């Protein structure tokens, strides 16, 4: 019942946010061909999806593995359409939402020939949810609701939860949750860091360090007919201009993360119908975070003034021409049923449609707080798209209320370190999630002692109480009302942090690549099983 409501709204929302060019209508897939694509990063650290958090690892290894459940690869823009990969059907939770029982497919084999059973699934999930000492699981936090995992026989896996929550199923669909072989894990929990052996649509062929990963078709793949490709080559190409040139000269067909608007415009202009572009809102956004525990940003008036200075609506409209940003939104991903509508958003200071009124109010607040000559240094990450561009825009916006801002742009390591140490005045950070899970995703706005990666360093018991209530609410309509209150507390009444532009994903690809559909997350839909080449 709950999921049907979700499904309806989710499908409607996903149709609204995805702009796919015509040509994706159903055609008969052709078998054969090699896909060459690029991974916009240097080679990732290890090959273990459970351990790592960078998309470089995911793009390189997802084709080799199966997962338990996943976002529907034919409808990846949906935030609520989850389907089975290794299970036989999506379960309905029992025991008031505390128990999820999965039936596992039979006849699935690992690439080395050994059969895959529920015991492998359970062992892999135990590694993810509660790894033994010395083994790390990068997303352990997402599964605090899981009490234990049982595998009573070869085809059944049972998840027992500590409390019922709407955020469990999206968490379970985490694309990094590869299913490993229990036999191998029992011998060596670290084996998968350096080796690949899964049950996915492609078999591992080779890995040239820092260069490329190659795979070939798995003839025994359990989804009949797939994969269509004979094989693939993934090349690590951290430099953007190289990636654009490669697509232009057909050295590679595409990259799966996203290119800026200038690249899209250039490719479309030059290649015309040889290029297809898919676009989508991205489950990533920049967050402006003043250090709430440092003067003068401990004064809510000063924070509010900063937020009011920003012309979100016109800024987003201009920035989308040069950066990967587009949609103005609140704390929830704009395509989700939990997100605020434009009318609801415009009630919040910082999103008022009249910018002159906002800026006048900002100046008034600064004067009241005695901070008319405010100047500060904004911490930013040295990545061009879109951090530096958004930062440069913000500096200009702040100057319009007389606040002088300089940017302190540092590499990723020092950027993270400064925020973790609280060693900054105002920081521009980002928030990206693997999968759209609004209730879990918005937990990051909770105070530091509750969510250790929140760098606003604020205290707000009202906010915490609202969130806890929402976390345990099982009626989506009521949860949405609570979400609006939580959002208001975060952005308006407490004014702890402010969203500045949600990102926008643009994936241009050569038109012969078919079958792949874009989603709000560059972590989703990467196993390449449904891709075919029209050559």
Partner 1 sequence: MSVSAPTRLEAISPIEATLTARRSRWARIRRFCGREMLGTFGLGIVIVMAIAGLSAEWIAPYNPTANDFAAMTEPPSWAHWLGTDQFGRDLLSRIIYGARTALIVGLSSAFVGGALGLVLGVGSAYFGGLIDMILQRFFDIMMAFPLIIMALAVVAIFGTGVHNVIIAITIPLVPRCARVVRSSALAIREVPYVDAARACGYSHARIILRHMVPNVVAPFLIMITAFVGQAILAEASLSYLGLGVQEPVPAWGLMLQGGAEEYASTAPWIAIFPGLAIMLAVLGINLFGDALRDELDPKLRNR
Partner 2 sequence: MLTYVLKRILFVIPTLIGAAALVFLLMRLIPGDICVVRLASGGSNVDARALATCHAELGMDRPVFLQFIDFVWGFFRLDFGKSMWSGKPVTAEIMARLPISLEIAILATVVAISIAIPLGAISALKQNTWLDVAVRVFAIGGIATPSFWIGILSIMLVLDVTSAITGHPWMPPIGYVPIWKDPIRNLSMAFLPAITVGYRYAAVSMRMTRSAMLEVMREDYIRTARAKGLINKIIINRHALKNALLPVVTLIGIEFAFLIGGLVVTEQVFNLNGVGRLFVQAVQNQDYTLTQALVMLTVTVFVVTNLVVDLLYGWLDPRIRYA
In the bound state with partner 1, the residue whose beta carbon lies nearer, of 375 and 406, is: 406
HSE, side-chain direction, 13 A CA sphere, residue 476: 19
Question: Pick from partner 1, partner 2, none: which does 432 bind, CB < 5 to 8 A by kind?
Answer: partner 2
Place of tokens 């929830």: 332
In the bound state with partner 1, the residue whose beta carbon lies nearer, of 263 and 332, is: 263
Stretch that binds partner 1, among 149-157, 239-247, 302-310, 363-371 (CB under 8 A): 239-247
SS3 90: coil
The pair phi, psi for residue 154, each rounded to 5°, is -70, -15
SS3 161: strand
Please identify which residue in 117, 292, 380, 434 interacts with partner 2, judged by CB under 8 A. Answer: 434
Return the number of other C-beta atoms located less than 10 Å from residue 169's C-beta. Answer: 18
Structure-token pair, residue 320: 């989308």
Place of tokens 């430099």: 239
Report 447-476 residues binding partner 2 (CB under 8 A): 452-453, 455
In the bound state with partner 1, the residue whose beta carbon lies nearer, of 69 and 263, is: 263
Please identify which residue in 112, 154, 368, 417 interacts with partner 2, judged by CB under 8 A. Answer: 417
Please state, in angstroms and rounded to a whole number, the distance separating the CA atoms of residues 276 and 247: 11
Report 220-239 residues binding partner 2 (CB under 8 A): 233, 235-239
Return the number of other C-beta atoms located less than 10 Å from residue 209's C-beta. Answer: 7
Query: What are the DSSP E strand ranges found in 88-130?
Result: 99-103
Residues 6+ apart with CB under 8 A from 128: 50, 137, 139, 140, 143, 177
Question: Pick from partner 1, partner 2, none: which does 388 bind, CB < 5 to 8 A by kind?
Answer: partner 1
Q: Is 334 left (phi over 0), alpha (psi -120 to 50) or beta?
A: alpha
Please identify which residue in 105, 139, 160, 223 interacts with partner 2, judged by CB under 8 A. Answer: 139
Question: Pick from partner 1, partner 2, none: which does 266 bind, CB < 5 to 8 A by kind?
Answer: partner 1
What is the CA 530 to chain-centroid distance, rounded?
Answer: 21
* One character per residue 357-386, x = contact with partner 1 (rule: CB under 8 A): --------------------x----x-x--
Please state, in angstroms and rounded to a whole number, the distance separating the CA atoms of residues 457 and 263: 38
Q: Is 273 in the site for partner 2 (CB under 8 A)?
A: no
Please identify which residue in 43, 49, 93, 391 interacts with partner 2, judged by CB under 8 A. Answer: 43
* One character per residue 246-265, x = contact with partner 1 (rule: CB under 8 A): --------------x-xx-x
CB of 135 within 8 A of CB of 189? yes
Burial of 410 per CB tally in 10 Å (0-12, 13-18, 19+): middle
Please identify which residue in 152, 163, 411, 474 interacts with partner 2, judged by CB under 8 A. Answer: 411
Q: Is 321 in the site for partner 1 (CB under 8 A)?
A: yes
Q: Is 140 in the site for partner 2 (CB under 8 A)?
A: yes
CB of 525 within 8 A of CB of 199? no
Q: Is 258 left (phi over 0), alpha (psi -120 to 50) or beta?
A: left
Q: Is 240 in the site for partner 1 (CB under 8 A)?
A: yes
At its nearest, how many Å lie between partner 1 and the CB of residue 291? 16
Report 383-412 residues binding partner 1 (CB under 8 A): 384, 388-389, 391-393, 395-396, 406-411
Please state, in angstroms and rounded to a whole number, the distance separating the CA atoms of residues 14 and 24: 15
Residues that bind partner 1 (CB under 8 A): 240-241, 244, 260, 262-263, 265-266, 269-270, 318, 321-322, 377, 382, 384, 388-389, 391-393, 395-396, 406-411, 413-414
Residues that bind partner 2 (CB under 8 A): 38, 42-46, 51-54, 131, 133-141, 193-194, 208-212, 233, 235-239, 241-242, 245-246, 248-252, 270, 284, 411-421, 423, 429-434, 444, 452-453, 455
């Amino acid at each position: 019942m709950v999921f049907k409501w979700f499904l309806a709204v989710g499908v409607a929302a996903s149709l609204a946010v995805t702009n796919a060019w015509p040509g994706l209508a159903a055609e008969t897939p052709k078998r054969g061909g090699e896909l060459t694509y690029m991974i916009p990063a240097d080679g990732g650290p290890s090959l273990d999806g459970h351990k790592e958090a960078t998309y470089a690892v995911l793009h390189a290894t997802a084709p080799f593995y199966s997962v338990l459940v996943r976002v529907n690869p034919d409808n990846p823009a949906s935030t609520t359409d989850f389907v089975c990969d290794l299970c036989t059907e999506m379960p309905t939770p029992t025991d008031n939402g505390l128990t999820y029982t999965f039936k596992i497919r039979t006849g699935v084999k690992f690439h080395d020939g050994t059969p895959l059973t529920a015991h492998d699934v359970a062992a892999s999930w135990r590694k993810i949810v509660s790894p033994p000492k010395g083994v790390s699981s990068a997303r352990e936090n997402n599964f605090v609701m899981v009490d234990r995992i049982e595998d009573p026989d070869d085809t059944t896996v049972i998840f027992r939860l500590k409390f019922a929550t709407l955020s469990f199923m999206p968490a379970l669909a985490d694309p990094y949750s590869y299913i490993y072989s229990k036999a191998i894990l029992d011998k060596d929990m670290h084996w998968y860091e350096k080796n690949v052996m899964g049950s996915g649509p492609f078999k591992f062929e080779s890995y040239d360090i820092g260069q490329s990963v190659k795979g070939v078709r798995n003839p025994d793949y359990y989804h009949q007919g797939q994969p269509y490709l004979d094989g693939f080559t993934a090349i690590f190409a951290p430099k953007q201009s190289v990636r654009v040139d490669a697509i232009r000269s057909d050295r590679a067909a595409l990259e799966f993360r996203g290119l800026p608007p200038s690249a899209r415009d250039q490719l479309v202009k030059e290649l015309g119908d040889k290029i297809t572009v898919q676009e989508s809102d991205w489950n990533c956004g920049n967050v402006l975070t003043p250090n709430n525990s440092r003067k003068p940003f401990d004064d809510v008036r000063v924070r509010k003034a900063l937020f009011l200075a920003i012309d979100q609506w016109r800024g987003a409209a201009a920035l989308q021409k040069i950066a990967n940003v587009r949609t103005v939104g609140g704390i929830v991903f704009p395509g989700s049923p939990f997100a605020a509508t434009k009318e609801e958003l415009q009630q919040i200071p910082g999103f008022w449609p009249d910018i002159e009124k906002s800026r006048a109010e900002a100046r008034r607040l600064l004067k009241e707080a005695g901070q008319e000559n405010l100047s500060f240094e904004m911490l930013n990450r040295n990545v061009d798209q879109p951090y530096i561009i958004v930062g440069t825009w913000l500096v200009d916006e702040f100057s319009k209320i007389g606040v002088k801002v300089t940017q302190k742009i540092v590499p990723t390591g020092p950027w993270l370190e400064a925020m973790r140490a609280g060693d900054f005045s105002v920081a521009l950070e980002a928030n990206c999630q693997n999968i759209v899970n609004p209730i879990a995703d918005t937990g990051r706005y909770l105070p530091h002692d509750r969510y250790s990666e929140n760098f606003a360093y604020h205290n707000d018991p009202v906010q915490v109480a609202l969130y806890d209530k929402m976390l345990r609410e099982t009626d989506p309509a009521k949860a949405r009302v609570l979400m609006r209150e939580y959002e208001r507390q975060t952005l308006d009444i407490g004014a702890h942090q402010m969203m500045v532009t949600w990102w926008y994903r643009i994936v241009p690809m050569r038109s012969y690549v078919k079958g792949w559909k874009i989603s709000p997350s560059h972590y989703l839909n990467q196993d390449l099983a449904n891709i075919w080449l029209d050559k």
